[in-house]
Structure 1
Amino acid sequence: MSNSQPQPSSVPILKRTLVFGFLYAAAIAVIGGGVAWLSVGAIGALSVVIGAVMAAVFLGITALSILIAIKYDIVAFFAIVLGAWLLKFVVFLILAVALRDQPWINTTSLFLALIAGVIGSLVVDVVVVMKTRMPYISDPNG
């Protein structure tokens, strides 16, 4: 007999979201980086890769914060998720200001990669949730 509690039904969904989100960000880096290389040059490709990495990190922070917070009571859950959201917001602002005027960044390529990453992560979330079988009632003791 095991003392561990059963995992909430949302854990596999979040893990699948992480995997597909990271794969999507890698696709943005490769495909978008190639397109940017051809149209803008190496600076554009580097900017797309940076944008894809930023999108992947922000996606990861959200999903990981929920995976961590799900083990705690509702107040701690919301505190952890809100704290992660605020962390993402602050890190995004710092990176936006720091990268804005860098000569080795093409801001258009970076912006387009970030937008593609955000929209893609939302699509990944929707598709993963729609294709997952999950009970209509909440988890016991949850």
Structure 2
Amino acid sequence: MTAPLSSTPVLRAALIWSAVVAVVVLVVAVGVGALVAGGNGALSGGVGAAVGAIFPALTAVSILVANRFYGHPAWLQIFFGVVLGGWLLKFVLVIVAFLVLLRLDWVVAPVFFFALLATAVSSLVVDLIVISRMRLPAVSETVLPTHSDPNEV
């Protein structure tokens, strides 16, 4: 069994804090949507916030899933296959979700958009804060040689 990758705690912390912030943005988006456009606005704000929270999280989840294969002889190929596959799937799902959601009569487009934008920006801010506060080694999984003779240069 190999040691876990140093990126795993960073990604887990980012997912946890992003979920917390997404719930706060969801509550605010539903409240503002209800004030602006009634029930349809509240629903639009909730859906926009949910879409804005789920899609950024898929990237971190795909990296965590791919990291489970660390130590496998084809780890790099598996890693990039899982992450790239996740991005492609996410790209298609975003297009389908927008095409479907924006054609529904009850969706209030401005409320949906601003809830989506607020959640996406807050997710980026959380990622920046988590990454800037994590202490990661500059070179991981490396063993440096040692000198036995202190007079040797």
> Who is 2:53 aligned against?
56
TM-score, length basis structure 1: 0.90
Once the two structures are TM-superposed, the CA of residue 105 in structure 1 deviates from its matched residue by: 0.8
2:66 aligns with one of 66, 69, 86: 69
1:126 aligns with one of 128, 143, 153: 128
Once the two structures are TM-superposed, the CA of residue 112 in structure 1 deviates from its matched residue by: 1.0
> Who is 1:29 aligned against?
26
In 2, are the aligned partners of 1:51 and 1:114 still within 8 Å (CA)? yes
Q: Distance in 2 between matches of 1:139 and 1:106?
A: 50
Once the two structures are TM-superposed, the CA of residue 84 in structure 1 deviates from its matched residue by: 0.4
Once the two structures are TM-superposed, the CA of residue 88 in structure 1 deviates from its matched residue by: 0.8
> Who is 1:87 aligned against?
89
Which structure has the larger Rg? Answer: 2
Amino acid in structure 2 at the alignment position of 1:118: A
Q: Distance in 2 between matches of 1:109 and 1:138?
A: 44
In 2, are the aligned partners of 1:70 and 1:77 still within 8 Å (CA)? yes
Q: How many percent of aligned residue pairs carry the same amino acid?
A: 37
Provide the aligned C-alpha RMSD in A: 1.5
TM-score, length basis structure 2: 0.84
- Number of aligned pairs? 138
